[in-house]
Amino acid sequence: MRPRLGAERQDNRSGSPLVNDVGWHVQLNLKPELLVQIEDLLLRSPSPLVFDHLAHIPRNVGVEHPAFKAMRKLIDKGHTWVKLSGAYQDTKVGAPTYADATAIAHAYVKAAPERMVWGSDWPHPTEKDKPDDAVLFDLLSQWAPDEATRNRILVQNPEALYGFGRPA
């Protein structure tokens, strides 16, 4: 059975062209199993796609998970972005290293640094015990050890994605 998406129309096309026409992007925060189920729909999207929290790739499977493979296809298509955020979500290792999330983040950065943006996820609405934002920010230096790459992730990529500096 196909999942029913609110943005999908009767003709089985996504509502993404409507989003694209106004210059927006589609923000996705979904379970990896759903990402795999709707991969074909996402690949047909003309709109930029932004996936929150490392696309929720299961930490125990990492880059071998079918959702990571789907993400690589989407990134390679050229209009998908990944938020390097939420290292604390679903971690089995925990602070301060979040080594299980670090492996996934590092793989994304190595594959396509031009498609990564960083996010803190502050104020961490899903967490009873709030993570230390300074620790989360410091992870970026492990995920992207090169200063030029970090600048790209923190400055140039958000400028490109969100249109900072462009006339309205």
Domains of the chain: 19-161 (3.20.20.140)
pLDDT of residue 168: 63
pLDDT tens across the length of the chain (168 residues): 344 444 444 444 555 667 777 888 999 999 999 999 999 999 999 999 999 999 999 999 999 999 999 999 999 999 999 999 999 998 999 999 999 999 999 999 999 999 999 999 999 998 999 999 999 999 999 999 999 999 999 999 999 999 887 776
Rg for the chain (alpha carbons), in Å? 16
- What tokens appear for 143 in the block? 């995920």
Collect contacts of 96-102 with beta carbons under 8 A, ≥24 apart: 96/132, 96/135, 98/139, 100/59, 100/60, 100/62, 101/54, 101/59, 101/139, 102/139, 102/142, 102/143
CA distance 49 to 79: 6
pLDDT of residue 20: 75
Identify residue 70 by its one-letter amino acid code.
A
pLDDT of residue 164: 87
Number of Cβ within a 10 Å radius of residue 77: 13
CA distance 153 to 21: 26
pLDDT of residue 2: 43
pLDDT of residue 48: 93
Q: Pick the closest to residue 151 from 141, 161, 139, 138 (CA basis).
A: 141
CA distance 105 to 88: 12
pLDDT of residue 15: 58
The Cα-based distances of 95 to 2, 90, 92, 133 in angstroms read 37, 12, 10, 11
pLDDT of residue 10: 46
